Amino acid sequence: MRLLTAAVFLFVAAPTLAQGRLAFDSERHDFGPFDEGLTVTTYLAFTNTGDAPVTLSEVRASCGCTTPQYPTAPIAPGGRGEIVVAYNSTGRPGPFEKHVTVVAEGAEPRVTTLTIVGSVVPAFTNGGVALGSAVFEHDAFAVEGAAGRVQHAFRFQNQGTAPFRITSVTTTAGVAAETVFPDRPIFASDIAGIVVTVENPASIARPDGTFEVGITLETTDAAQPTKTLRLTGSLARVGGG
């Protein structure tokens, strides 16, 4: 009985190991939609709610487009700090999700993962053509001086709130043209394209050397199920005449 009493006394009397703890106001930030080319910034604040100082030894982003800045001085118990996270959207249209790993010495847990999300509105849609929920870079494209195979991608973004599918793509009757389109749902903010290829534009040219391909898209987009595009052009002149 004496031994048991002594063991219980030692267990109760043993000092509790001091430990820091980072409590973030939020571990996730949503930038929402913003224009391509902007660098957006958020401040992810935290408090050391533990009873020992905490030092941030490493803060690293999941890609080079995301840049974190952080305090290097120890954060005392009850102290506040913040991690500044910037995202460069240049050349990165569409939705994104990036992670920032925070390593805090003296804290439990030692590693915390922060997340930033958003949707970059592609620059090509500025001044683009809205066909229902899809905003195209353009709905008509001209190729001048075609000497051989002609290929063009009609890019677009789903700027609606619901996904839609392209169920079929057809070209002008009698025109030898191939089309490739995504065989999947196109979700809100997704970017996709319709690729049109004319292997031999001379075979569909008019007597004056011009040609035209009409492209019709049938979709499940409730805002405008049928969408039309146009690829036009002229053949290269022979002999400089």
CA dist 174 and 211 (Å) reads 12
Q: Could you tell me if 113 and 147 lie in one domain?
A: no
Q: Could you tell me if 129 and 231 lie in one domain?
A: yes
User: Mean pLDDT over residues 16-20, rounded?
Assistant: 83
Q: Is the pLDDT of residue 13 over 60?
A: no
Last residue of a domain, one of 69, 99, 121: 121
Q: Could you tell me if 22 and 115 lie in one domain?
A: yes
User: Mean pLDDT over residues 111-125, rounded?
Assistant: 95
| DSSP code per residue over 17-72 | PP-B-EEES-SEEEEEEEETT-EEEEEEEEEE-SSS-BEEEEEEESSTTEEEE---
7 lies in some domain:
no
Q: Could you tell me if 78 and 147 lie in one domain?
A: no
Which pLDDT does position 10 carry in this prediction? 46
User: Mean pLDDT over residues 112-138, rounded?
Assistant: 95
User: Mean pLDDT over residues 15-35, rounded?
Assistant: 91
User: Mean pLDDT over residues 89-112, rounded?
Assistant: 95
Average pLDDT, the chain: 91
CATH number (domain holding residue 197): 2.60.40.10
Tally the domains of the chain. 2
Q: Could you tell me if 83 and 149 lie in one domain?
A: no
Q: Could you tell me if 147 and 201 lie in one domain?
A: yes
Q: Is the pLDDT of residue 235 over 50?
A: yes
User: Mean pLDDT over residues 10-16, rounded?
Assistant: 51
Which pLDDT does position 108 carry in this prediction? 92
User: Mean pLDDT over residues 137-154, rounded?
Assistant: 92
1 lies in some domain:
no
Q: Is the pLDDT of residue 241 over 50?
A: no
Q: Is the pLDDT of residue 131 over 70?
A: yes
The percent of residues above 70 in pLDDT, for the chain, comes to: 91
Q: Could you tell me if 35 and 92 lie in one domain?
A: yes
| DSSP code per residue over 170-193 | EESTT---EEE---S-B-TT-EEE
User: Mean pLDDT over residues 8-17, rounded?
Assistant: 53
Question: Tens of pLDDT along 172-209?
Answer: 867 778 999 999 999 999 999 999 999 999 988 999 99
Q: Is the pLDDT of residue 15 over 90?
A: no
Which pLDDT does position 11 carry in this prediction? 45
User: Mean pLDDT over residues 43-62, rounded?
Assistant: 96
User: Mean pLDDT over residues 69-96, rounded?
Assistant: 96
Q: Could you tell me if 101 and 204 lie in one domain?
A: no
40 lies in some domain:
yes
Which pLDDT does position 236 carry in this prediction? 86
Which pLDDT does position 174 carry in this prediction? 73
The two counts, helices (H) then strands (E), for the chain are 1, 17
User: Mean pLDDT over residues 19-30, rounded?
Assistant: 96
Beta bridge mates, 196: 152, 179
The percent of residues above 90 in pLDDT, for the chain, comes to: 80
Count Cβ atoms below 10 Å from residue 87 Cβ, excluding itself.
Answer: 24
Residues 6 or more apart in contact with residue 11 via CB below 8 angstroms: none
Which pLDDT does position 16 carry in this prediction? 64
Domain span at residue 158? 124-235
Q: Is the pLDDT of residue 7 over 90?
A: no
Last residue of a domain, one of 121, 156, 179: 121
Q: Could you tell me if 97 and 131 lie in one domain?
A: no
Last residue of a domain, one of 121, 148, 178: 121
2 lies in some domain:
no
